[in-house]
Structure 1
């Protein structure tokens, strides 16, 4: 089997295939439909999306994922796969948490919705140790297409209003309106208290006073009407009516702000603010928008404690590379506004082509002096880079197969697939298939456990003072987060490969991630030189040659193109540290570089593509100069 197919094979699916199918692995022609179904599921995109989703379930928020890909046609399907994987992971965590604590999430539906309104009025939440130990997570997905707002001058406002609208639809306008008026932000518990709710004494006394006053007024009026001795007491009747009217009007006045927030949503308020040209230039405009965002964030914190689980808002931003440069800058600024809270529950998936976004940042007039190098600005904003690899063999075959079919055929296949699932659920699964799936789940659990062990070992090497690895980690907090977020994905991708599962060196993986993060230009140049050499006629021992030797042999060509690669070369760190890293501390070979390249997600592939174009042009120039020299000699 070729290397591209080998990377996608999972060990837990190889064994059932070998047992239930007598054909070869590379050319399966059996009539077993289940075998082909399993084979179709195991595509390259499934593996990459699964590893990314598992990492996002463990990554602290806020986080910005740079979903880098030059091909826009695959992005929607990849985002759907990531959402599906994260949803499955949340269900698995919920079941695991229920087995451990026997506590189910409390959804704000039916009677629980009335309970939520009662808590909003009379209780304030408290973040306890029990809540911090909860592992079950619910993801709220929002997809924002920047192209829909490209014609507006306030594209960033569309991002904020989309957030407000989704939160309002998710939890209901009534609950959000009550929170705006009487809700309170959760606070941390003092000591080891396990009480998650505290009574609002002021609200309780105020509500109790209004109720007593209303009852007293109604009682006085009733006594003047029905008691014979004081029936003619007009003074008591007037006093009772006044007390009842005052208490009733007080209750109505307290409900007036709630009704106002029900009618005028947060989206309408922000849109009205952006339409006022005079107010948008005022200093208090962004402060007002920031206040609205903080209120929504605090409401999400409130709902976390009520539902007894963590909530994460996944914002998928697409089509940003199709907008004008000033619009792109506005969206990135809005993201920074949402991420200003250090504990905000936001996960931004920025689906862009990095070359286009870097060019937009450099061309934007408002970013002059701040983002003269778009790549550097993008690196400061993205805390988890994830470059989509080239489409694999299995995925390409699947996409081609879908392209050959018409829309009606696809709809028919979806309907029949749903009918098969309903029939299987109603009649029960076959015993052999159930055993197969159970064995697959056990094997996948073992793979995940082994990946977690490797991740802990890599992190231990990263902060070990007796190891030299920490010396190459930059001082920037953002760059530290990029490295820490990337190592788990790389290790999980490698553990899915059966041939590498028991030969992974966590320290080398961590070193490779740091190499790709700190010197992307030099590493991309080495990889491109390796690819060009391997495509020609390499020597027999070429794969054992150190990558440092490849760099020293071709560094002159790299520096000759410094004008064309000026912005990309600015991404690299200290060149002396690079020489020490690759020549002494981590002497990776060509063979190791080829192995790690398949699982490298924090390296922008467009950089290597640009370098390949420059090398091809240089090769054509050399060939042309040779022909010119030969022609001159003949003349």
Structure 2
């Protein structure tokens, strides 16, 4: 959190974001000054809506000017991600973060926020380090690139006290999507290949090739020495010898060719040429491995090893893979000292719970063994659903006796558990606001008269036809304008903190988009009907869309019960009854069929919220349910068909039992 945001929160004057509702003349109040104030305001809002008794009523809901920027407020997700990122900046590596999410909600958004917070923290530390010791990181670019190659050949890095005290950190983010490698038997190899490819791409193939051939592993300083580079004397002597021999050979050959009296002799030419050839061939032999590593990367080597079934069965297979990883980690240590800052490789592992159990085990074992050396610069963010991973661990045949209790095994792997909290008010409002902004049909535009006039000219001199088409176009423009206004008002109700509707919207961004995409088409269908055009309540329509999206099973049962009752002779004023009463009268029949409707009932959300929604905040009547059903596009009608069959069978069974009972009674008499 920056200083401005901290000051705003401390003074209680943090302002809320600019909402889409301002486009239609409405605005939202400033963000709550404290948690208690938020509860109090929501309570007053509930009382105001509860006393109104009308779905469309907005009385009692206070509004203020939303003349502030969205950036002035930190959402709950940003606060959580900021705290986690700062913790990861201070945590010793390697560390495995269990990023637990039960249903994959807003994962990519949270990961992006964590990466952004870590980059900001890295920039802040770099500036602080510069103010402290006046030292900037040395990036391998331009002249520094040539300096790096020179150091790789002739110097060995030394880990000194100065380096250990450096606070500035640079993060290298690698997002590993497990399902991309799910078809392979060795999913863990995909993790290693991704690491090799990103390190090579980040630092460049040439420095990595030089290090693989002539680089030296960093060593710790003896005592309190401040010297970070130690000259490799053997390499210097060898290179100097080759240079001296090469110069001597070239000198002899030149002398034999240029000086009169000597150039006629052949012995000196042969000696000089031989010496120059030997020294040149020595240089070629020294450069050949580097060229080979440039052509054949570590990724190619590991792929070749894993593809060879004979080699994978050998005893030293995993040891060979481990050596390749050690080369990478040692190279990262080398670059730490050269760049004068700490380096951390952040692995974001996603979609692991979509793979087969045996593949999941391989990735976890790779994290625990191949990539878990002491002080290895790895931060693993394991994005998983714990229930699925635990089930994979307990079902895997290779883990019998090792992970009979999947939770215990997962706890031994994860060193920093972080369960994604429920989405907060400001986070949900911001996600909804972003979803609204992506809709092109909310760009309110009026078609220019010039286009219409051009179309009329093309029609010729048929004035009657032109007037009819102009009238129809004008009417359609009015319908579209009115629909856009209704859509804005409905969206305003969705992200209004003083309304109840946002509480019933799920945390999943996918579900938010489903609702946001459904509301416009529902309203547009209704505005096409003349008798509904001026009698639409946007808040009621938005609530109906949320009801259908969140509780399709219960709503389908209510609709089917209503349909059956209206087909026979209903009681008086039945259409004025609340839909909640219809549900309470028939809920026993629904739950008596829970075995047949098990999969369908799993689609429904919280039953307590359903009761509160339909009995308190949105008490739709039977008449309203019939009206909205004609324009409902987000309800799977196959659910109703299954319920209709079950109710029909139940009716037949009931009638058969009754007839059988009457027949038995007649025989008895």
**Normalized against structure 2, the TM-score is what?**
0.58
Give the aligned partner of residue 197 of structure 1.
229
Query: 1:115 is matched with which residue: 134, 138, 147?
Result: 147
Report whether the alignment pairs 1:257 with 2:289.
yes
Shift of 1:338: 3.4
- SS in structure 1 at match of 2:273: helix
Give the aligned partner of residue 64 of structure 2.
29
**What does 1:411-490 correspond to in 2, within 5 Å?**
none
Report whether the alignment pairs 1:229 with 2:261.
yes
- SS in structure 2 at match of 1:119: helix
Q: Which structure's CA Rg is the greater one?
A: 2
Cα deviation code 1:580-617 (max 9, x no counterpart): xxxxxxxxxxxxxxxxxxxxxxxxxxxxx99x9xxxxx
For residues 252 and 242 of structure 1, the distance between their equivalents in structure 2, rounded to whole angstroms, comes to: 15
Query: 1:132 is matched with which residue: 148, 155, 164?
Result: 164
The two structures, once aligned, show a CA RMSD in angstroms of: 2.5
For residues 358 and 373 of structure 1, the distance between their equivalents in structure 2, rounded to whole angstroms, comes to: 8
Report whether the alignment pairs 1:13 with 2:47.
no
CA contact (8 A) 1:68 1:387 kept: yes
CA contact (8 A) 2:15 2:68 kept: no
* 1:178 to 1:45, Cα distance in 2 relative to 1, 3 A: same
Instruction: Specify every segment of 5 or more residues in structure 2 that has no aligned partner in the other structure, as ranges.
Output: 17-27, 33-61, 444-604, 609-669
For residues 395 and 310 of structure 2, the distance between their equivalents in structure 1, rounded to whole angstroms, comes to: 27
The count of residues paired between Structure 1 and Structure 2 equals 404
For residues 23 and 299 of structure 1, the distance between their equivalents in structure 2, rounded to whole angstroms, comes to: 54
* 1:121 to 1:394, Cα distance in 2 relative to 1, 3 A: same
- SS in structure 2 at match of 1:141: strand
* 1:20 to 1:82, Cα distance in 2 relative to 1, 3 A: closer
For residues 14 and 111 of structure 2, the distance between their equivalents in structure 1, rounded to whole angstroms, comes to: 34
Cα deviation code 1:273-331 (max 9, x no counterpart): 11011111111100000000000000000000000000000000000001000000011
For residues 180 and 96 of structure 1, the distance between their equivalents in structure 2, rounded to whole angstroms, comes to: 34
For residues 395 and 20 of structure 1, the distance between their equivalents in structure 2, rounded to whole angstroms, comes to: 14
Report whether the alignment pairs 1:92 with 2:124.
yes
**What does 1:160-239 correspond to in 2, within 5 Å?**
160-239=192-271
CA contact (8 A) 1:213 1:244 kept: yes
**What does 1:588-627 correspond to in 2, within 5 Å?**
none
For residues 10 and 185 of structure 2, the distance between their equivalents in structure 1, rounded to whole angstroms, comes to: 57
Report whether the alignment pairs 1:373 with 2:408.
no
For residues 310 and 227 of structure 2, the distance between their equivalents in structure 1, rounded to whole angstroms, comes to: 48
Give the aligned partner of residue 426 of structure 2.
394
* 1:125 to 1:37, Cα distance in 2 relative to 1, 3 A: closer
Shift of 1:228: 1.4
**Normalized against structure 1, the TM-score is what?**
0.61
For residues 198 and 191 of structure 1, the distance between their equivalents in structure 2, rounded to whole angstroms, comes to: 15
For residues 7 and 419 of structure 2, the distance between their equivalents in structure 1, rounded to whole angstroms, comes to: 26
For residues 333 and 150 of structure 1, the distance between their equivalents in structure 2, rounded to whole angstroms, comes to: 16
**What does 1:488-507 correspond to in 2, within 5 Å?**
none
Report whether the alignment pairs 1:82 with 2:124.
no
For residues 191 and 396 of structure 1, the distance between their equivalents in structure 2, rounded to whole angstroms, comes to: 55
* 1:409 to 1:237, Cα distance in 2 relative to 1, 3 A: farther
Cα deviation code 1:450-485 (max 9, x no counterpart): xxxxxxxxxxxxxxxxxxxxxxxxxxxxxxxxxxxx
Question: Which has the higher relative contact order, 1 or 2, with Cα contacts under 8 A spaced 6 or more apart?
Answer: 1
- SS in structure 2 at match of 1:327: helix
Give the aligned partner of residue 83 of structure 2.
51
CA contact (8 A) 1:402 1:410 kept: no
Give the aligned partner of residue 373 of structure 2.
341
CA contact (8 A) 1:105 1:309 kept: yes
For residues 257 and 249 of structure 2, the distance between their equivalents in structure 1, rounded to whole angstroms, comes to: 13
Shift of 1:406: 3.0
